[in-house]
Structures are given as structure tokens and as C-alpha cells.
Amino acid sequence: MAKKKVKNDIFVKEKKKLTQQQEFEVLKLVLDKFLWLGFSIMAFGLYIIVVNVDNIFKGFAFMIVGAILLVLFMMLLIKEYEIVK
């Protein structure tokens, strides 16, 4: 992470400044793993529903957690990286 030192020895966090090509390369490497993680949690929830009908609530809970995880990672990536124009 890029940090900038100011007079008061306080570190100020700067946003990453990437070109469009650099951002695409980072997203290709990182986003794929997060997508697999979120969808695997959702698939596990579906598996719980199919295998044991009594645990429908538990299965849906896993599916909702997986969807929330996907949205959270999407927001984190959009917030952390900006395109330099």
C-alpha cells in the first residue's frame, strides 16, 4: 500500500493509481479467486438444501452469506482502485 509521510509523522493512505491495462490485470488475478470463494459458499448452501430438506433455513443462510461476500468484495475492489485518465 502506498503511504505518504507528512510533517507530523502521520501516514496518509493514498489510492492506487493504475492505468486501465494495469487495473484489468489486477482484476483478472484477484477477482477470479473471490468469485470462486463466493460461488462455492453458495453452492455449499444449495448442497445442504438438496441433501437434507430439514435444513432449508441453514442452506439459504449459506447462500445469502455467499451473495453478501460477493457484493462486499465487489465494493472493496471498486473503492480501492481507480482508473487514471
Hey, what amino acid is at 28?
A: K
Instruction: Of 75, 77, 73, give the one whose Cα is nearest residue 36.
Output: 73
Using a pLDDT cut of 70, give the percent of the chain over it: 75
Using a pLDDT cut of 90, give the percent of the chain over it: 22
> To which H or E segment does residue 82 belong?
strand 81-83
From residue 11, alpha-carbon distances to 1, 2, 5, 14 in Å are: 11, 10, 5, 9
33-79 pLDDT per residue, tens:
878 888 899 999 999 989 988 889 999 999 999 999 888 887 877 77
Whether 29 contacts 77, CB under 8 Å: no
